[in-house]
């Protein structure tokens, strides 16, 4: 095999820096005996050029807001990113590179936001990084339109993503790229590591479409670099991409996976396994690199990379100078910008939360949510989002807050536009029928900062969102997901649209806070909790059908939602013999069943448990107050899968749930056929207790003091 290296360039500083990147990655992966060396070896030249000549960043201040964003979507090549971070001066010492993929290191197998300084987005599942980068570019353009003023450009940065063949194959990337082209996100630049090799094969076996033509059809500028080692050509392409004002750019760089390896260059064997000690030796020889020591960093290469500290500090100082002038000229806008960048909520925002009067007819919690969301939007300027083509059903439009669109786009038909400002300052995003990409873009928006992103779809379609929900939770991103049409009660659309196992599936995701409110006032409190919770995504699960607005003069305060669960209705005589536990639309059924059971002489408490996660975080004293251990007769009522409920019921409890796929019929008929009736609940309750009768002793007078909903 002929290795494409020019011996005459061995002393060239650029080549020295590029090989430093290559062999830091190779050595770390070999030391760990685990990893993906091929991509860092092939993509090192474009990464070097981007990070040293184009990327605007300050390694000493990783969170400086107007930095360019870089996302390694091909997260399996993480050692390339870790090498760049170490060499340019981020707080990632060489000792961490030597501990690649080891317990407790800051260099995990795939990049994790919040763990490693300089990592903007958690990536690894292919396509997620590219789609998240679209969200970052959306956030940048939105904030620029809202806060920049003549002479004061405070938001003005590029979003770069390094993507590979696997990223471009994944559907989530296609969804996001389609919307990015429509939105004309010109400050989004994707470098495509076009090495034509995947983990298991050459792309010729499965991926022969014209990728450039596809992206041109999306509305992207497509540029091609024939040789991934040609720094001049890569530089020209980056200059052209940065000069483009109307289109995102895809730079297709033809690279060689495992570049320099005599036995594994251009082979899928270089993708997902270390080269092996002998092949490392041969590769170092082929590229003129010293065999020892491992993790060799030539001083002149380090000096070149570390210039980023000087240039980055100067760029940040210049930005702060502009910010100081902006503060003087636009004090109100400056104060708001600082607040949203800090992720803080406007003082008094909670006063915007409506209170709903008792009403037997009531309203759907999706309707209540719409009222709450629009009230909050008047006080919380960073709210920014939309639905996956479902605004008329999820009711998640921010009335009069404008449509996020490129100003240069003037469609012939504006059906479905929310109204208000048309342009990038608009707060309503039209995601189209792209649930998966919607979630990934929301993650990118949250990671970018300056917005509080939300997205909406039907609960059944949370299945399309599961990968991004998991990544949001893993990354501790504050994203709000609104899931409506939450049970078999949605009716005629039938089993394909009736969620059953989705609640259990969402509750299984660590750190995701799931809240299923049972009436309009619980819905308002669910929104309060969603805004107060920090560092975790929240899923609000809402009904299609109307639910009674409960009379809080006679029942527990809806503020109990903040604690995840609370006593909604106490047993009328002494301690309860039975506890009915319900969430969402089944709350009113539990109250009706309690009334019937107490008429029969059975002492019954009703507990509302809208959020398992928040309830589980309460002190044991409080949880024992709500669910006294002495009361073992417990019946949970929820129109979803029964999985997980026995954690609250013990061996003596029962669940009325749905462990099938529903049916196509009017919602009230489906509920009745699945046993969600007062008579059926009462029958199960009497079976549990062996008959009517009061409890023993007296109920506590009041619950323990409440902690914060964000421990």
> Annotated catalytic sites, by residue?
435
CA dist., res. 478 & res. 531, Å (int): 9
Distance CA 244, CA 248 (A): 8
With 0-12 / 13-18 / 19 or more C-beta atoms within 10 angstroms meaning exposed / middle / buried, residue 702 is exposed
Cα–Cα dist 496/289, whole Å = 59
- Phi/psi at 225 (5° precision): -120, 115
Distance CA 5, CA 15 (A): 10
Confirm if 209 and 215 have CB atoms less than 8 A apart. no
Q: Give ∠ CA 516-622-616 in degrees, rounded to 5.
A: 45
What stretches of 330-461 show up as alpha helix (H) in DSSP? 331-341, 365-377, 391-394, 435-448
DSSP string, 146-167: HH-BTTB------EEEEEEHHH
Six-digit token string for 142: 């939105």
Q: How far apart are CA 527 and CA 156, in angstroms?
A: 32
- Strand 159-164 versus strand 403-404 pairing type: unpaired
Long-range CB contact pairs, 368-375, < 8 A, 24+: 368/517, 368/519, 368/520, 368/523, 368/524, 369/395, 369/396, 369/482, 369/484, 369/523, 369/527, 369/540, 369/542, 370/395, 370/396, 371/520, 372/523, 372/524, 372/527, 373/398, 373/454, 373/527, 374/398, 374/399
Phi and psi of 356, rounded to 5°? Answer: -110, 130
Whether 145 contacts 421, CB under 8 Å: no
CB 473 within 8 A of CB 510: yes
8 A C-beta contact, residue 195 and residue 165: yes
Sign of the Cα pseudo-torsion (339, 340, 341, 342, in order): positive
Per-residue b or e along 600-609, where b marks 16 or more CB atoms closer than 10 Å to that residue's CB:
eebbbbbbbb
Q: What is the DSSP letter of 5?
A: -
Asked whether 531 and 345 are in contact (CB, 8 A), the reply is: yes
Half-sphere exposure of 297 (CA within 13 A, CB side): 19
Left, alpha or beta for 254 (phi > 0: left; psi -120 to 50: alpha)? beta
Find tokens 């197998």 and name the residue: 109
Task: Give burial (CB, 10 Å; 0-12/13-18/19+) of 670.
Answer: buried
CA distance 641 to 364: 21
Nearest CA-CA partner of 81 in 108, 114, 53 = 108
What is the 8-class DSSP label of residue 202?
B
Classify residue 8 by burial, with Cβ atoms within 10 Å: 0-12, 13-18, 19+.
Answer: exposed
User: Can you tell me the distance from the alpha carbon of 588 to that of 606, in angstroms, rounded to the nearest whole number?
Assistant: 10
191: which strand partners? Answer: 162, 251
Given the DSSP bridges, would you call strands 249-254 and 221-225 parallel, antiparallel or unpaired? parallel
* DSSP string covering 102-132: -TT-S--SS--TTTSTT--S---STTHHHHH
């Amino acid at each position: 095999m002929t290795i494409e290296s020019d011996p005459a360039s061995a002393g060239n500083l650029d080549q020295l820096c590029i090989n430093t990147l290559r062999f830091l990655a190779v050595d770390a992966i070999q030391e760990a005996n685990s990893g993906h060396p091929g991509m860092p070896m092939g993509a090192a030249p474009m990464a070097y050029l981007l990070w040293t000549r184009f990327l605007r960043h300050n390694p000493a201040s990783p969170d400086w807001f107007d930095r360019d964003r870089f996302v390694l979507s091909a997260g399996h090549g993480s050692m390339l990113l870790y090498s760049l971070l170490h060499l340019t001066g981020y707080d990632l010492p060489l000792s961490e590179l030597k501990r690649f993929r080891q317990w407790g290191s800051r260099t995990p197998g795939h990049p994790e936001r919040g763990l490693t300084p300089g990592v903007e987005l958690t990536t690894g599942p292919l396509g997620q990084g590219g789609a998240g980068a679209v969200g970052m570019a959306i956030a940048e353009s939105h904030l620029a339109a809202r806060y920049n003023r003549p002479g004061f450009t405070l938001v003005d940065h590029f979003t770069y993503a390094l993507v590979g063949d696997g990223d471009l194959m994944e559907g989530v990337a296609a969804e996001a790229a389609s919307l990015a082209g429509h939105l004309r996100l010109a400050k989004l630049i994707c470098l495509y590591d076009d090495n034509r090799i995947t983990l298991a094969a050459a792309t010729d076996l499965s991926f022969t479409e014209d990728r450039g033509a596809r992206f041109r059809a999306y509305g992207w500028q497509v540029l091609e670099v024939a040789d991934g080692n040609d720094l001049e050509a890569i530089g020209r392409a980056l200059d052209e991409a940065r000069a483009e004002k109307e289109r995102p750019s895809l730079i297709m760089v033809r690279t060689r996976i495992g570049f320099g390896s005599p036995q594994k260059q251009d082979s899928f064997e270089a993708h997902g396994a270390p080269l092996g000690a002998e092949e490392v030796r041969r590769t170092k020889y082929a590229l003129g690199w010293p065999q020892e020591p491992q993790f060799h960093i030539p001083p002149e290469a380090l000096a070149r990379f570390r210039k980023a500290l000087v240039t980055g500090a100067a760029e940040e100082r210049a930005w702060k100078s502009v910010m100081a002038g902006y503060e003087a000229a636009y004090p109100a806008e400056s104060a708001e910008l600082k607040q949203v960048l800090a992720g803080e909520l406007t003082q008094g925002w909670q006063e915007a939360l409506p209170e709903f009067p008792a009403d037997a007819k009531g309203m759907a919690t999706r309707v209540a949510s719409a009222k709450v969301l629009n009230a909050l939007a008047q006080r919380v300027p960073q709210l920014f989002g939309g639905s996956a083509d479902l605004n008329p059903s999820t009711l998640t439009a921010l009335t009069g807050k404008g449509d996020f669109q490129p100003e240069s786009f003037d469609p012939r038909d504006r059906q479905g536009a929310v109204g208000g400002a048309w342009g990038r300052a608009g707060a309503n995003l039209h995601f189209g029928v792209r649930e998966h990409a919607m979630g990934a873009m929301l993650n990118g928006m949250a990671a970018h900062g300056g917005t509080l992103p939300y997205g909406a779809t039907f609960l059944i379609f949370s299945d399309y969102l599961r990968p991004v929900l998991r990544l949001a939770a893993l990354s501790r991103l504050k994203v709000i997901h609104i899931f409506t049409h939450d049970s078999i009660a949605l009716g005629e659309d039938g089993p394909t649209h009736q969620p059953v196992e989705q609640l259990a599936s969402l509750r299984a995701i660590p750190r995701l806070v799931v809240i299923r409110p049972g009436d309009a006032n619980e819905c308002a409190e669910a929104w309060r909790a969603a805004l107060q919770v920090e560092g975790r995504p929240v899923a609000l699960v809402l009904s299609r059908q109307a639910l009674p607005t409960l009379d809080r003069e006679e029942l527990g305060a809806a503020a109990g939602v903040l604690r995840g669960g609370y006593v909604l209705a106490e047993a009328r005589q002494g301690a309860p013999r039975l506890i009915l536990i319900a969430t969402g639309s089944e709350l009113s059924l539990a109250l009706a069943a309690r009334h019937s059971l107490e008429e029969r002489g059975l002492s019954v408490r009703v507990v509302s448990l809208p959020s398992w996660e928040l309830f589980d975080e309460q002190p044991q004293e409080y949880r024992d107050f709500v669910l006294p251990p002495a009361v073992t007769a417990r019946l949970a009522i929820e129109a979803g899968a029964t999985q997980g409920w026995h954690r609250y019921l013990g061996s003596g409890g029962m669940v009325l749930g749905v462990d099938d796929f529903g049916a196509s019929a009017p919602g009230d008929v489906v509920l009745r056929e699945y046993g969600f009736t007062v008579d059926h609940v009462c029958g199960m309750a009497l079976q549990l207790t062996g008959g009517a009768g009061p409890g023993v002793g007296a109920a506590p007078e009041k619950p323990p003091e409440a902690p914060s909903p964000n421990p």
